[in-house]
Amino acid sequence: MNALAVIKAAEQQLKERFQQMEEVAYQNQAKIIESFKEHRVREYHFNTTTGYGYGDDGRDLLESIYAHIFEAEDAIVRQQLVSGTHAISACLFGLLYPGDQLISIIGPPYDTLGNVIGKEVAARGTLIERGIKYSEVPLDLNGGPDFKAIAESVTDKTTMVLIQRSRGYTLRPALNIEQIKRLVLTVKERNQQTIVMVDNCYGEFTDTIEPIACGADIVAGSLIKNPGGGLAPSGGYIVGKKELINRIAYHITAPFLGKSLGASLANKRLFFQGLFLAPHVVLQSLKGACLFARIFEVMGYDVYPKWDEPRGDIVQAIKFDSPKEVLEFCQIIQNCSPVDSDVNLEYAAVPGYSRPIVMAAGTFVQGSSIELSCDAPFKEPYSVFLQGGLTYEHCRYAAHLLIQRFNGI
């Protein structure tokens, strides 16, 4: 079979799956249009502002819309948040005091957050160095949350628990909404006061329900992933309880300044329009992920998740035997990118990551992983973590080249 025939056969198989995902995208699209209508978005809301950024109505309106869509009391949506790690780190530093206890209840957190916490090296400025007590509850043997161990670990001294929705650089499945609900319930039953925080990176709009509606207190993510829709040029968001948002805003700017300051130097149309497009772009990524899963499964590789398994994020992991194959895979993704397509990739050190990592991201927005991109840390089992795709057609194009290489056609 030639590559196109392999793709067409996979698409035939995926038809029903695609329809289910289209329905989720439709519901999220409707939710967002209704929110824009209710908030009476106008062209002047897109304008840039300067200096202190007092009275930036568009910025405040965008935050109200985020709060509304994520069913939260309040939101921080800022271009000054430099990444997802920054948004999550701001929540941790804004809410935790020396002596407080933080537990990551679904195993180790994302690599960059391990460094923020100071898990391995409690360097100056990390949470542990500042006196925050940290522990982890490992996953169960199937790679899922260990509800019993979680219940036992949460006590009246637990200030906050951290839940990561996406798989990160592991082969465990992403959490689904039902699991997030049950995790919140498990923690709150033990201690009503414990703050439940969700790292929502890559999870937004993969379902019709978001973590705040599951009872989470605070949720954060990156605008150069799902909710930026591929248009947001930078930034992060945080949604949750008003009182918590206030404390985090005091940390991000300064006490008593909070959310009132912060000029919008970049045109805000990109943030509004990106959010408007986000459900559709997430759909493109999800369809692409299913296609990659199916074709690599057919070619005999282990894929996580499988094409017909539920998805709580946009990430597709594929396991290879060697770093050489991983590098070849990433190079193909790079070569079919609209930007920097001729760049040669290699494993290298990246700020915030302890291990060498290769990142294919020939993207319009630097490092944007809602655009078709792929990362692979230098560790066993050698796997690629593929995500994004602004158009399904781009994913299909990449699939074509990947089949030609990995099917030996």
**Chain residues that interact with ligand PLP, rule: CB under 6 A:** 83-85, 110, 112, 164, 166, 168, 199, 201-202, 222
CB of 3 to ligand PLP, least distance (A): 30
Closer to ligand PLP by Cβ: residue 227 or 258: 227
CA distance 102 to 161: 6
Which position's Cβ is nearest ligand PLP? 84
CA distance 98 to 134: 11
Closer to ligand PLP by Cβ: residue 255 or 310: 310
Closer to ligand PLP by Cβ: residue 126 or 164: 164
Beta bridge partners of 316: 386
CB of 86 to ligand PLP, least distance (A): 7
Q: Do residues 59 and 49 touch, judged by C-beta distance below 8 A?
A: yes
Closer to ligand PLP by Cβ: residue 58 or 389: 389
Q: Both tokens of residue 323?
A: 């770093």
Closer to ligand PLP by Cβ: residue 186 or 387: 387
Contacts of 362 (CB under 8 A, 6+ apart): 333, 334, 336, 337, 338, 339, 340, 341, 343, 373
CB of 166 to ligand PLP, least distance (A): 4
Which of 2, 3, 14, 9 has the alpha carbon at shortest distance from 306? 14
Q: Both tokens of residue 109?
A: 């957190």
Closer to ligand PLP by Cβ: residue 236 or 262: 236
CA 149 to chain centre: 26
Closer to ligand PLP by Cβ: residue 20 or 366: 366
CB of 45 to ligand PLP, least distance (A): 26
Contacts of 255 (CB under 8 A, 6+ apart): none
Closer to ligand PLP by Cβ: residue 112 or 363: 112
E-strand stretches of 81-150: 101-104, 133-136
Beta bridge partners of 134: 102
The number of C-alpha atoms within 13 Å of 209 and in the hemisphere containing its C-beta is: 13
Q: How many residues does the chain have?
A: 409
CB of 291 to ligand PLP, least distance (A): 21
CB of 368 to ligand PLP, least distance (A): 10
CB of 179 to ligand PLP, least distance (A): 15
CB of 164 to ligand PLP, least distance (A): 5
E-strand stretches of 215-369: 218-222, 236-240, 303-304, 316-319, 357-360
Contacts of 126 (CB under 8 A, 6+ apart): 115, 116, 117, 118
Contacts of 141 (CB under 8 A, 6+ apart): none
Closer to ligand PLP by Cβ: residue 88 or 403: 88
CB of 153 to ligand PLP, least distance (A): 21
Contacts of 224 (CB under 8 A, 6+ apart): 83, 232, 233, 234, 235, 365, 367, 368, 369, 370
E-strand stretches of 202-361: 218-222, 236-240, 303-304, 316-319, 357-360
Closer to ligand PLP by Cβ: residue 84 or 279: 84
Torsions phi, psi for 37 (to 5 deg): -65, -50
* Interstrand relation of 195-199 and 218-222 (parallel, antiparallel or unpaired): parallel
Closer to ligand PLP by Cβ: residue 38 or 120: 120
CB of 37 to ligand PLP, least distance (A): 30
CB of 189 to ligand PLP, least distance (A): 26
